[in-house]
Amino acid sequence: MHYTVRVTLVIAGVVGFGAVAPAAARERAQPNLMEVVVGSGPFSGTYKPPKTEVICMHAKQQKMYTAAFKDFAPKSAKALSEAGINVTNPDVATAGKHADIRIAFGDPAKKQTVYSAEGVPVTMKAVGNGAEIVFDGTTKEGVQLRVTAKCQDVEQM
C-alpha cells in the first residue's frame, strides 16, 4: 500500500503541474483544502499547503479517493514536501472507511523524513460534489497526526 500512496502523490503532482490535465492548472472556483497537524516530534506544528496545489481525485476503477499535495522543490529539510490520504473502496456503503496516509518533509533526493500509516480508519463524508476526509491518530512510531482534506474540485478518473 505504501507504493500506492507514493504513486498517487506523484500523479497528483503531475496533474497539479498541468502536464496531464491542463484544466487542473486553472484557478478553482472552490479550492481544495488540506491541513496537516503533527502533534509530536521534531516536526510538530500545523501545515497548510497552498490551496491551489491540493489535488483531489476519484478513481472509480481503482477504487480510490485521494487528496494529495506534492512540492517538487522543498526549500528546507523541515518543509512539507508531500501530504496524501488515499481512501480505499470509497464507494462501498460502509460506516468505516480505511486509508493510507503519507506525510513527508524535505527533499526526496536527500534524507527525507516520512510519517505514514497504512489501512487506518478515517472519516469520510460527502459534501456537495466532493468529500471531507479526516484522519486523527498516530503512526506506528507514535507520532500524532491529524490530516483534514476538503475536496470541492475533484478530478474524476
Q: Which helix (H) or strand (E) holds 85?
A: strand 80-88
Q: What is the pLDDT of residues 39-50, one digit of tens each?
A: 999 999 999 999
Q: What is the pLDDT of residues 114-157, one digit of tens each?
A: 999 999 999 999 998 899 999 999 998 899 999 999 999 999 98
Q: What is the pLDDT of residues 98-126, one digit of tens each?
A: 999 999 999 988 889 999 999 999 999 99
**Which pLDDT score, from 0 to 100, does residue 153 have?**
95
Burial label, 68 (beta-carbon count in 10 A; 0-12, 13-18, 19+):
buried
Collapse the DSSP code of 17 into the 3-class scheme (helix H, G, I; strand E, B; otherwise coil) and give the result.
Answer: helix
Domain boundaries, the chain: 2-156
**Which pLDDT score, from 0 to 100, does residue 30 have?**
83
Q: Is the pLDDT of residue 59 over 50?
A: yes
Q: Is the pLDDT of residue 14 over 50?
A: no
Q: Is the pLDDT of residue 19 over 70?
A: no
**Which pLDDT score, from 0 to 100, does residue 18 have?**
45
